[in-house]
């Protein structure tokens, strides 16, 4: 597999207006396209698109078209066709991402009326000649997550452990925080960075919900269960003195804060790393070292989606509550939630086996 990091950088030249008589080169238009992507998409998407254009430039040079000097008018749909085959050394999922990025470049060039492109042909080329990534079914130990939640829900057990460790104040705060954090992950479907970015003012305590900016910089409403809200209130009550001495408005303070030597008496936001450490520490504490790594913050999101499907049987509800842009993402969970199929399988095979044994 080619190493993307070793590919030479595309020379990005942003041209606001072509005042010279020289035709625009492919490299110049790539720069304009990436500038447009940077202004409208996430940083991660920008990096993916830039990598895709690196590789596309490599293909162009192999076909004797140097992007720095080749006019954009020399770009053809046949080159995109070659690019589809050129990506077969990459994983299927990566192939799809890069094809969409370069397809976007072609459509940008078409929109700027630099060349004429058939969008339908590009779509057909991707559909017919590229590989479809396999569907990875979400795997997570649901029963173990239930055991963990049952353990942490009893905050008295956590505080007792804090007392045993001899660092009462900080350990007690961590006990209440970790309980609130884990119950929130399980009952809301938050991604770990979303939970870590929450401010006290984000939560509407009366409505039991929060308005956040989630994945893709999209605004979303996230609902809380009564047990999660109560756990958060219990935690904030323990943190009252710390928050009051911060000198800041309570609404601006993080909902989940650090309680370590680095934070001291300051109220500092947690990072996703802290969130992952909370999960690892409590998993090891209550389930054993062998389970560390098998339950991650994202496991609680899988648990949440599956719980919604099992409770409602409604795929659309699960999609909206999980904030999946594409319902196909939600469909991956249906195999985990169809209790009727489990029962039918048992009735057909297990009961039959027992009848034969009898």
Distances (CA, A) of 286 to 47, 146, 268, 280: 40, 12, 27, 10
* Predicted pLDDT of residue 337: 61
pLDDT at 350: 62
Banded model confidence at residue 17, pLDDT cuts 50, 70, 90:
very low
The pLDDT of residue 167 is 57
Band of the pLDDT at 281, cuts 50, 70, 90?
very high
Q: Residue 260's CB: how many other CB atoms inside 10 A? A: 12
- Mean residue pLDDT of the chain comes to 84
Does residue 81 sit in helix, strand or coil? helix
Report the candidate in 214, 154, 223 with the shortest Cα–Cα distance to residue 184. Answer: 223
**All domains of the chain in start order, with CATH:** 4-129 (1.10.150), 142-339 (1.10.443.10)
The pLDDT tens digits of the residues spanning 78-89 come to: 999 999 989 988
Between helix 43-62 and helix 92-111 the angle, nearest 10°, is 80
Answer whether 0.75 is exceeded by the pTM.
no
For residue 356, pLDDT beyond 60? no
Q: Give dist(CA 209, CA 223) in Å, integer.
A: 4
d(CA 63, CA 83): 11
Q: Is the pLDDT of residue 240 over 50?
A: yes
Give the model confidence (pLDDT) of 139-184 as tens digits. 778 899 999 999 998 877 677 766 666 557 788 899 999 999 999 9
């Amino acid at each position: 597999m080619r190493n993307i990091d070793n590919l030479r950088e595309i020379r990005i030249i942003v041209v606001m207006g072509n005042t010279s008589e020289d035709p625009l080169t492919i490299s110049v238009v790539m720069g304009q396209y990436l500038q447009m992507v940077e202004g409208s998409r996430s940083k991660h998407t920008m990096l993916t698109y830039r990598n895709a254009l690196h590789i596309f430039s490599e293909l162009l040079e192999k076909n004797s078209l140097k992007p720095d000097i080749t006019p954009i008018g020399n770009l053809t749909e046949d080159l995109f066709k070659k690019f589809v085959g050129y990506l077969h050394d990459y994983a299927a999922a990566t192939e799809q991402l890069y094809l969409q990025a370069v397809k976007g470049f072609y459509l940008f060039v078409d929109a700027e009326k630099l060349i004429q492109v058939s969008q339908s042909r590009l779509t057909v080329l991707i559909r017919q000649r590229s590989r479809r990534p396999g569907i990875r079914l979400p795997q997570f130990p649901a029963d173990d997550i239930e055991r963990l939640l049952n353990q942490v829900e009893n905050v008295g057990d956590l505080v007792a452990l804090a007392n045993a460790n001899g660092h009462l104040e900080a350990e007690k705060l961590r006990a209440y925080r970790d309980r609130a954090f884990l119950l929130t992950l399980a009952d809301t479907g938050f991604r770990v960075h979303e939970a870590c970015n929450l401010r006290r003012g984000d939560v509407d305590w009366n409505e039991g919900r929060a308005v956040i900016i989630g994945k893709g910089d999209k605004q979303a409403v996230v609902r809380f269960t009564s047990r999660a809200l109560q756990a958060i209130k219990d935690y904030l009550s323990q943190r009252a003195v710390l928050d009051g001495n911060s000198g800041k408005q309570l609404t601006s303070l993080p909902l989940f804060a650090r309680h370590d030597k680095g934070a001291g008496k300051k109220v500092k936001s947690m990072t996703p790393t802290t969130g992952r450490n909370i999960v690892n520490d409590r998993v090891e504490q209550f389930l054993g070292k062998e389970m560390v790594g098998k339950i991650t913050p994202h496991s609680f999101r899988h648990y949440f989606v599956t719980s919604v499907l099992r409770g409602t049987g409604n795929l659309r509800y699960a999609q909206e509550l999980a904030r999946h842009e594409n319902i196909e993402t939600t469909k991956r969970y249906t195999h985990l939630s169809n209790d009727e199929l489990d029962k039918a399988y048992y009735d057909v095979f297990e009961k039959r086996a027992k009848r034969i044994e009898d």
